[in-house]
Amino acid sequence: MGERLGNLAIFGFGEGGWGLALLEGAAMTVLVSAVGLIVGGIIGGLVAWSRLSGHRLAGAVGRSYAALFRGLPELLIVYFVYFGTSTLLTDIARLLGHEGFVGVPSFAAGALAVGVISGAYQAEVYRASYLAVSRGELEAAVSVGMHRWLMFRRIIFPQVMRFALPGLGNLWQVALKDSSLISVTGLAELMRVSQVGAGSTHRPFAFYLGGAALYLAMTLVTTRVFDVAEARATRGMRRAAG
Amino acid sequence: MASKFVKALGLGAALCAGLLLAPASFAKDWKTVVIGMEGAYEPWNLTDSSGKIVGFEPDLVMDLCKRAGLECKIIAQDWDGMIPGLKAGKFDVIMDGMAITDERKKEIDFSKPYAVSPGAFLAPKDSPLTKARDAGKLVDLDKDPKGGDAAIKGVQAALKGKTLGVQVSTTHANFASQYMKDAASVKEYKTADDRDLDLKSGRIDASLDDYPVMVATASKPDASELAVVGPRFIGGAFGAGTGMGIRKSDADLTAKFDKALAEAIADGTVKKLSEKWFKVDMTPQS
Amino acid sequence: MDLDFAWRTFIRLIEALPLTLSIWLLSVVLGGLVGAGVTWMRVSGVKPLEWIARGYVLIFRGTPLLIQLFIVYYGLASLPVVRASIFWPFLRESFNCAVLSLGLCTAAYQAEIFRGALLAVPAREVEAARACGMSGLLMFRRIIFPIAMRHALPPYSTELISMVKATALVSLITLWDVMSVAMKIRNDTLVTYLPLIIAGAIYFVVNYIIGAAFLAIERHVTPHLRARPG
């Protein structure tokens, strides 16, 4: 296994250097968090809609979903989704006549787990954002004769997203951090790569600190992106606080 | 508020009900075989910095697959998900320094052993284990029960009041919880690397794992204060050799690998690979 | 389903609950103390202190708790300078590392909660207090703290629940909390879901109790915001 590489060289890109592996891990982290956030957006949208719909049963299901997935440890949800999706899909496939294993790759299971958790919180963001949309605008849209889909597309969706941006920016940071738990499924995201590197080279301090630095960098960069998006989206909006 | 609580539990229960279905069983014409390995159990298998899994087992299985006319693919899997992953069909073979034990045989089948690997202790060079009786000797718990008992008592005395580290769900963990529980405190780790990090920092006083794994760890430049000490154990809780884990329903696959393995042992391939990775010959003597 | 196995699993998990709760309580208290200190630095008006406080919050909220935990548990232990220091007997124990790491993390979140609560105290109340001649400590005790505390209650309850969920991570540093016992039962018996389901139920009930308790406290201390009877 060669001589002992210096602490900086171990992060390099040459022979035996883990720099490339760490960056690939970081890319994987961003990818799985982004997909997870989108999945969470869909779930959160559905849950928010069910709660706002006024139907008692739908509202109850929505509230239960949020209560359930906000009350369980994220690590437990990751394990559950990871073990559960493969078995569920395999069983469904078997019912449909397919033989053999239906594999759910760690990426899909991980993104789904992040999404399931994020959705429970995104639902609340969307619900509050919807309630913040001026009633007057909705009434005006109806009186002009817009049908529901047009109203959603032109009035509701843009305004809800504007109000939701700060909350979503926060939930994106949460998704980035939750994605580190997917490491227990073996997916080669940043936490996992740091762990493998730390164990393989017996240098846990260097690798975990390096991994943390990369997470911090990702958080800072993406928060900047959200801040810019927020500034542009809320141009001209009157708000209580600046 | 209470009804929300009940509804949430109800939703949770409904989700769970859908998951308690019977496991699948598979039968196929074997062309491709997926092998599950940790990639973190040097020198059986390890992950190099390019992400590729290398080691004794990858080399061996590639040779066996060539002999059996199969196309083999290796995937990484955490140790504590090995048997569940095999049963769920995530892969078809487990090859991860897995000892053949009666307990495991209840869940899965094994090929014939491709290596015989005793359990050994890794500890600081000044550990009391260096002076334990039978230190440095191989003790067979099956063939020599009385000698085995004495050796175990010697280890218990050496580790009294200390902490022993093992990897979860291994034969070594079983041995430790069976025999060491009262003498020493036992810590279980998800990976061998994590355990050895704690050994180096002094959180635990000794590690128990496969002999070749301990030798490889002790030979690293940053392990100069550690050494393989105390007796080495085979048999009993440690199992009867290392084999490939295969689903019970795939007896035809087991037969294919057994045949290839017999050939590889006969023509010395296993010995050559064993000496390359373990520096000793660990071929089973049939 | 094997009811006997379910019951035995439940008992084993309940036996691990005290460890989970003690890690939770100690880390929350540690986080409260450190967080209060960070908030104090943040509102002190002394620029260097403010920068340190902002940096602290950024680092501990901007990185995953799991990696912080591993830095404290594995990272520090691998440094010879740490092993030779007076801190080593403390850091040698997994339990202490867990409390330290979780505590430092929640401190950052609690600091932000405290800061938000302080900002929510209306300026006019502080001015009125000063006009009455109240000294700093008296003003804090009688005016600032009661108002701020009421604003802090809802996010604080969320943070406490987050911390209960965070304790599940200590299963990854060899501590036998509810999560790791559930995983061990899974691995040993190869029963895939039941241990996780029972563990989930236990966590859910604990979080529900915390949420309900805080709701009751909130109702109690804000009678002026409740609807009038009749």
CATH number at residue B228: 3.40.190.10
Domains and CATH numbers, chain C: 3-225 (1.10.3720.10)
Q: Is residue A118 part of a domain?
A: yes
C77 contacts B107? CB cut-off 8 A: no
Amino acid identity, residue C120? A
Q: Is residue A143 part of a domain?
A: yes
pLDDT category at A18 given cuts 50, 70, 90 is confident
Question: For residue C48, is the peptide bond before it cis, meaning its omega torsion is within 30 degrees of 0?
Answer: no
What ipTM was assigned to the predicted interfaces of this complex? 0.90
**Cβ-contact B134, B154 below 8 angstroms:** yes
Dihedral sign for Cα atoms in the order A68, A71, A72, A73? positive
Q: Is residue B217 part of a domain?
A: yes
In total, how many domains does chain B have? 2
Lowest-confidence pick of A31-35, B216-220, C101-105: B216-220
pLDDT (tens digit per residue) in C137-175: 888 888 899 999 998 999 999 999 999 999 999 999 999
Pull the structure tokens for residue A76.
Answer: 């437990």
In total, how many domains does chain A have? 1
Same-domain status, B106 and B158: no
Pull the structure tokens for residue A81.
Answer: 């989704």
Pull the structure tokens for residue B152.
Answer: 């175990």
Q: What is the 3-state secondary structure (H, E, C) of chain A?
A: CCCCCCCCHHHCCCCCCCHHHHHHHHHHHHHHHHHHHHHHHHHHHHHHHHHHCCCHHHHHHHHHHHHHHHHCCHHHHHHHHHHHHHHHHHHHHHHCCCCCCCCCCHHHHHHHHHHHHHHHHHHHHHHHHHHHCCHHHHHHHHHHCCCHHHHHHHHHHHHHHHHHHHHHHHHHHHHHHHHHHHHHHCCCCHHHHHHHHHHHHCCHHHHHHHHHHHHHHHHHHHHHHHHHHHHHHCCCCCCCCC
How far apart (Å, rounded) are the C-alpha atoms in residues B110 and B243? 6
B19 contacts A1? CB cut-off 8 A: no
Residue that has been written with the tokens 């884990």 in this structure: B245
Angle at C16 between CA A114 and CA C88, to 5 degrees: 85
Which residue range(s) make up the domain with B40? 31-116+241-278
Q: Is residue B13 part of a domain?
A: no
Nearest to C197 among B16, B189, B203 (CB): B16
Same-domain status, B165 and B233: yes
pLDDT category at A103 given cuts 50, 70, 90 is low
A71 contacts C203? CB cut-off 8 A: yes
How far apart (Å, rounded) are the C-alpha atoms in residues A80 and A92? 17
Same-domain status, B54 and B105: yes
Q: Is residue B83 part of a domain?
A: yes
Q: Where does a domain end: B206, B223, B238?
A: B238
Q: What is the mean pLDDT of residues A111-129?
A: 94
Same-domain status, B217 and B267: no
Length of chain A: 242
pLDDT for C28 equals 97
| Residue A117: CATH number of its domain | 1.10.3720.10
Same-domain status, B36 and B105: yes
Which residue range(s) make up the domain with A23? 9-233
| Chain B residues lying within 8 Å of C193, measured CB to CB | 16, 19-20
Q: Is residue B22 part of a domain?
A: no
Q: Is residue A178 part of a domain?
A: yes
pLDDT (tens digit per residue) in A65-99: 999 999 999 999 998 888 877 677 767 777 776 65
Same-domain status, B138 and B220: yes
Pull the structure tokens for residue B24.
Answer: 């699948």
Q: Which residue from C minimizes the CA distance to B165?
A: C174
Q: Which of residues 100-119 of A touch B (CB under 8 A)?
A: 100-101, 103
Q: Is residue A155 part of a domain?
A: yes
Q: Residues of B at the A interface (Cβ-Cβ below 8 Å)?
A: 4-5, 7-12, 18-19, 21, 23-24, 26-28, 40, 46-47, 49, 51, 76-78, 81, 84, 88-90, 191, 193-194, 196-197, 200, 220-223
pLDDT, chain B, mean: 85
- Contact of C187 with chain A, judged by CB distance below 8 Å, is answered with no
Angle at B86 between CA B81 and CA B90, to 5 degrees: 90
CA C111 and chain centroid, separation: 11
What is the secondary structure of C151-173 as a DSSP string? Answer: HHHHHHHHHHHHHHHHGGGGGGG
Q: Residue A241 pLDDT more than 80?
A: no
C203 contacts A203? CB cut-off 8 A: no
pLDDT category at B21 given cuts 50, 70, 90 is very low
pLDDT for A20 equals 87
Helix (H, G, I), strand (E, B) or coil at B249: coil
A71 contacts B21? CB cut-off 8 A: no
Residues 6+ apart with CB under 8 A from C107: C30, C31, C32, C33, C34, C35, C38, C56, C60
Q: Is residue A240 part of a domain?
A: no
Lowest-confidence pick of A70-79, A119-128, A231-240: A231-240
Can you list the alpha helix ranges (DSSP code H) found in chain B?
Answer: 2-17, 56-68, 82-88, 102-105, 145-158, 171-175, 192-201, 211-218, 251-266, 269-278
Centre a 10 Å sphere on the Cβ of residue B75 and count the other Cβ atoms it contains: 15
The percentage of residues in chain A with a pLDDT greater than 90, rounded to a whole number, is 45
- Contact of A13 with chain B, judged by CB distance below 8 Å, is answered with no
B5 contacts C190? CB cut-off 8 A: no
Tell me which residue of B88, B29, B284 sits closest to A89, measured CA to CA.
Answer: B88
Q: Which of residues 175-204 of C touch B (CB under 8 A)?
A: 183-184, 187-188, 190, 192-193, 197, 200-201, 204
| Chain C residues lying within 8 Å of A220, measured CB to CB | 62
pLDDT, chain C, mean: 92
Same-domain status, B232 and B130: yes
Q: Is residue B218 part of a domain?
A: yes
Pull the structure tokens for residue B138.
Answer: 């191989």
How far apart (Å, rounded) are the C-alpha atoms in residues A197 and A178? 20
The secondary structure of residue B91, as a DSSP letter, is -
Same-domain status, B224 and B138: yes
Length of chain C: 230
Same-domain status, B167 and B267: no
Q: What is the mean pLDDT of residues B212-216?
A: 89
pLDDT for A39 equals 96
B11 contacts A202? CB cut-off 8 A: no
| Chain A residues lying within 8 Å of C61, measured CB to CB | 173
How far apart (Å, rounded) are the C-alpha atoms in residues A117 and A72? 9
Same-domain status, B123 and B227: yes
Same-domain status, B94 and B182: no
How far apart (Å, rounded) are the C-alpha atoms in residues B45 and B37? 7
**Cβ-contact B25, B249 below 8 angstroms:** yes
pLDDT, chain A, mean: 85
**Cβ-contact B216, B274 below 8 angstroms:** no
Q: Which residue from C minimizes the CA distance to B189?
A: C174
Same-domain status, B227 and B136: yes
Q: In this complex, how many residue pairs, one in chain A and one in chain B, have their CB atoms less than 8 Å apart?
A: 88
pTM of the complete model beyond 0.90: no
| Chain B residues lying within 8 Å of C200, measured CB to CB | 12
pLDDT category at C93 given cuts 50, 70, 90 is very high
| Chain B residues lying within 8 Å of C172, measured CB to CB | 190
Q: Is residue A239 part of a domain?
A: no
Nearest to C67 among A72, A203, A212 (CB): A212
Dihedral sign for Cα atoms in the order C128, C130, C136, C137? negative
How far apart (Å, rounded) are the C-alpha atoms in residues A177 and C67? 9
pLDDT category at C188 given cuts 50, 70, 90 is confident
